[in-house]
Amino acid sequence: MSDSLLRAVCTAALAVATLTAAVPAPPAAAVPPAPTTVSGMLSELQKLYRQIEEAGETYNATEVKLRQQQAETARLARDLATARNAIDAGRRDVGRLAREQYQGQSDLSSYLQLLLAKNPRQALDQDHLIERAASDRLATIARLEEGAKRADRLASESRKALDKEQTLANKQKQARDRATARLKEVEKLLASLSVEEIAELAALERSHTATAQKKLLSTGVLNGKRTPSEEGDQALEYAVEQIGKPYVWGAEGPQAYDCSGLTSQAWARAGRTIPRTSQEQWRELPKVSLRRLRPGDLVIYFPEATHVALYLGEGLVVQAPHPGTRVKVSPIAANPLLGAVRPDPDGAALRSYTRPALPPGATAGSDAAYGAESAPAAD
């Protein structure tokens, strides 16, 4: 992890510079005392990375809603323009009717012509024309009235849509502000570490990861032959191809990823669209127990479902851990497990499976072990 932490100083600084270039810094808040022990530093890093990822997933979810709302706002604007054009056309028709009446072509003159007609056939024909003309006039006025009501309704909906769009944009900015603040704290903490502290921090993290992994594997929930579905195999091949690419907050490829950016794009490449964020993936995709976990399934972490990885098999996952790291292979228990979901519950498992070949250094770097919490109970 030492190389990863040293890289994280530069990466976090670059991320902060990029974000703060577009977003003003939030108001200063009371700063708690800096941790004085390596264990305290690890806990502080765990907390900060978790806050960054939570803010990132909020940002990503809001980005999706904002795009949807912008599309809805644009649709309403088009409908409103169409309604207003219809009103203009109706007003022209009403103006034409007014001119006809002024020029003596009103219904009254038509009735006079009917009364003065010399033969019954002509009278009946004239009566039919009068009824049709009156019906056309009434329809024209009704269309104008209905068009005006529709335009008023669309104008109101459009205003509400714009307000909602602005609310989402503000929420997105707040999430970005929170992430910016946390990134600054990470940068400050990492920059304060000595070489000895970095080495000790790395050893402590490896110890936590090893303890959590051993505890999970000892339960036997991951024993047995596991094969993915055809789509799951394709998603894993894509994820493995991304190993070594940097974690960038809010990114979804192809040059960089955050955690859910990697999982959503991997499954998109397999031909299946899944929600963008880890919280939505946990909430909307079918859950699967660890005893039934197969390669390609998504492993969700933390009580708030703020982190996600793809199960590779043999107790390993492919993940984008946190700022300052790269897409890599990690032990499944490197982060506190919440559960797992399956993007393709209808997909049959392959009879045989060969795990994609891993590139050199696929397991190098920080796994972001946030603590050796208990594994979830097997179903």
Q: Note the pLDDT of residue 140.
A: 62
Counting residues of the chain whose pLDDT is more than 70, the rounded percentage is 63
pLDDT of 33 higher than 60: no
Q: How confident is the model at residue 29 (pLDDT cuts 50, 70, 90)?
A: very low
Report which of 291, 220, 240, 258 is spatially closest to residue 60, judged by C-alpha positions.
258
Classify domain 220-356 by CATH architecture: Alpha-Beta Complex (3.90)
Q: How far is CA 336 from the centre of its chain?
A: 23
The amino acid sitting at 331 is: P
Main-chain dihedrals φ then ψ at residue 308, nearest 5 degrees: -150, 150
Q: Are 316 and 330 in contact (CB under 8 A)?
A: yes
Q: Note the pLDDT of residue 125.
A: 53
Burial of 20 (0-12, 13-18, 19+ CB in 10 A): middle
Q: In terms of pLDDT, which residue wins out, 52 or 109?
A: 52
Burial of 357 (0-12, 13-18, 19+ CB in 10 A): exposed
Q: How far is CA 361 from the centre of its chain?
A: 30
233-280 per-position pLDDT tens digit: 999 999 999 999 999 888 998 999 999 999 999 999 999 999 999 999
Each domain of the chain, given as residue ranges in start order, spans 1-27+34-218, 220-356
Signed CA dihedral, 234, 239, 240, 242: sign only: positive
Report which of 307, 306, 313, 290 is spatially closest to residue 232, judged by C-alpha positions.
313
pLDDT of 375 higher than 50: no
Main-chain dihedrals φ then ψ at residue 257, nearest 5 degrees: -145, 155
The mean per-residue pLDDT over the stretch 134-142 comes to 62
Q: Note the pLDDT of residue 205.
A: 80
Q: How confident is the model at residue 20 (pLDDT cuts 50, 70, 90)?
A: very low
Q: Note the pLDDT of residue 94.
A: 58
How many CA atoms, within 13 angstroms, populate the side-chain half-sphere of residue 286? 9
pLDDT of 26 higher than 90: no
Signed CA dihedral, 23, 24, 27, 31: sign only: positive
39-51 per-position pLDDT tens digit: 666 666 666 666 7
The mean per-residue pLDDT over the stretch 95-117 comes to 53
The mean per-residue pLDDT over the stretch 54-69 comes to 73
Longest dimension (CA), the chain: 117
Extract the tokens encoding 361.
């250094």
pLDDT of 5 higher than 50: no
Name, of 17-21, 152-156, 247-251, the range with top average pLDDT: 247-251
pLDDT of 23 higher than 70: no
**CA–CA separation, 164 and 8 (whole Å):** 37
189-246 per-position pLDDT tens digit: 777 777 787 778 778 888 888 999 999 999 999 999 999 999 999 999 999 999 999 9
120-131 per-position pLDDT tens digit: 555 555 555 455
Q: Are 201 and 1 in contact (CB under 8 A)?
A: yes
302-349 per-position pLDDT tens digit: 988 989 999 999 999 999 998 788 999 999 999 899 999 999 999 999
Q: Note the pLDDT of residue 4.
A: 47
Q: Are 213 and 292 in contact (CB under 8 A)?
A: no
For the stretch 297-320, what's the b/e string if a residue is b when 16 or more beta carbons lie within 10 angstroms of its beta carbon?
bbbbbbeebbbbbbbbbeebbbbb
DSSP class of residue 378? P
Q: Are 278 and 259 in contact (CB under 8 A)?
A: yes
Average pLDDT of the chain, as a whole number = 75
Q: How confident is the model at residue 12 (pLDDT cuts 50, 70, 90)?
A: very low
Instruction: Among 89-98, 278-287, 313-322, 347-356, name the one with the lowest average pLDDT.
Output: 89-98
Is the whole-model pTM more than 0.75?
no
**CA–CA separation, 244 and 320 (whole Å):** 9
**CA–CA separation, 184 and 192 (whole Å):** 12
Report which of 181, 174, 95, 94 is spatially closest to residue 138, judged by C-alpha positions.
94
